[in-house]
Amino acid sequence: MFKMLIVVNILFVLLGCNQAHVEMNHSDSLIVIDAGHGGHDSGAIGAGKYEKNLVLQIAHKVAKNFKNMGYKVYLTRDDDRFIKLSGRTKIADRQDAKVFISIHANAIADKNRFAQVEGIETYFLQKTRDARSQRIAEKENAAVLKDTDGLSKHVIIDSVLNGPKIIESNKLAIDVQNNIMKSVKKLYSDVRNGGAKPAPFYVLVGASRPSILVEVGYITNPKERARLFTSEYQEQIAKGIVAGVTRYINNRKQEIGF
C-alpha cells in the first residue's frame, strides 16, 4: 500500500498535477484587492462609462471567488470612495496579506485609435524601457504625483525597485496574466494578450509583499468596453485572477512554506 502511494505521487508530479495543487488549504492566506480610483477620481472614461465603477464591480467578483476557494479577503474600498495611492499597499501590510492586487482599466487619448487598441495586461513594479508601458504608468500616476517634482518621483520609485519582492511580483504577474487569458478565451477567443510587464506604478510603491496591477482592458475600445460591463466577462476575469494567484501561492507553499 505504501509503495502504491509513492507511485501515485510520482505520477502526479510527472503529469504536472501535484496533489497539493488540488487539496491545498487557503484559509491561512489573506488577499488584499484594490479597486482603482474612486470618489472624485473617476479614472479613465469611455462613452460615459467610468473606470472607478467598472473595477469595483470586478473587485467584488474577485473577492467572492477568492472566498469560495477558502481565502480570506480584504477590499481597500467597498464603495465609491477615494483612497490615497500611498495608503493602499499600507492596508496590505496592516492586514498581513499574502499578495496585493490592484485592478484598473486602460484607456488611450487618440480617438482615431479607439477601435484599434485593446487587450489585457498585468504589471509589476519595475522601471521599463518600453515607452508604451511607461505612458500607461504615467497616466495612472498622474493624479497622485501631479504636485511632485521630477527628482522626487524618481526617488520614490527607486526606493523600492531593488526590494526582495520584485522577483516574486514578476512571477505572480505571469501566473495571473496567463490564467486570465485562459479564462476569458473560453468565451472570447479574440481577446488580445498584452502580457505581464514591468512599469513604475506608484500604487505598487512601498509594497512589502508580492504586488501586481491588472489592466482588465481598454474602456476606450468600443468592443472591449461592451464586454467589460457585462457580468459574464467580469466573472471570467475574476476567475482568471483567482486561478493565477492560487497557482502562485501553491507553488510558493511547496517551495518555502509561503
pLDDT in tens, 170-213: 999 999 999 999 999 999 999 999 999 988 877 787 778 999 99
pLDDT tens-place string over residues 128-180: 555 565 566 566 656 554 454 454 445 445 544 545 478 899 999 999 999 99
Cβ atoms within 10 Å, residue 187: 12
Which of these, 42, 47, 161, 31, lies nearest to 102 by C-alpha position? 31
Q: What mean pLDDT value characterizes the chain?
A: 84
> Average pLDDT for residues 55-63, to the nearest whole number?
98
Cα–Cα distance for residue pair 147/170, rounded to 1 Å: 30
Which of these, 201, 195, 200, 198, lies nearest to 174 by C-alpha position? 195
Would you place residue 126 in the very low, low, confident or very high pLDDT band (cuts 50, 70, 90)? confident
Threshold 0.75, pTM exceeds: yes
Assign domain 27-256 one CATH number from 3.40.50.300, 1.25.40.10, 3.40.630.40, 3.90.78.10.
Answer: 3.40.630.40
> Average pLDDT for residues 40-54, to the nearest whole number?
97
Cα–Cα distance for residue pair 143/93, rounded to 1 Å: 23
Inter-residue contact 206 to 90 (CB < 8 Å) = yes
Plot region of 107 (φ>0 → left; ψ -120 to 50 → alpha; else → beta): beta
Q: What is the pLDDT of residue 85?
A: 79
Which of these, 48, 51, 234, 32, lies nearest to 143 by C-alpha position? 51
Structure-block grid coordinates of residue 244: 493565477
Q: What is the pLDDT of residue 16?
A: 44
Q: How far is CA 201 from CA 4, 23, 115, 247, 253, in A?
A: 50, 35, 25, 24, 27
pLDDT of 240 above 60:
yes
Would you place residue 18 in the very low, low, confident or very high pLDDT band (cuts 50, 70, 90)? very low
29: CB partners within 8 A, 6+ apart = 71, 72, 98, 249
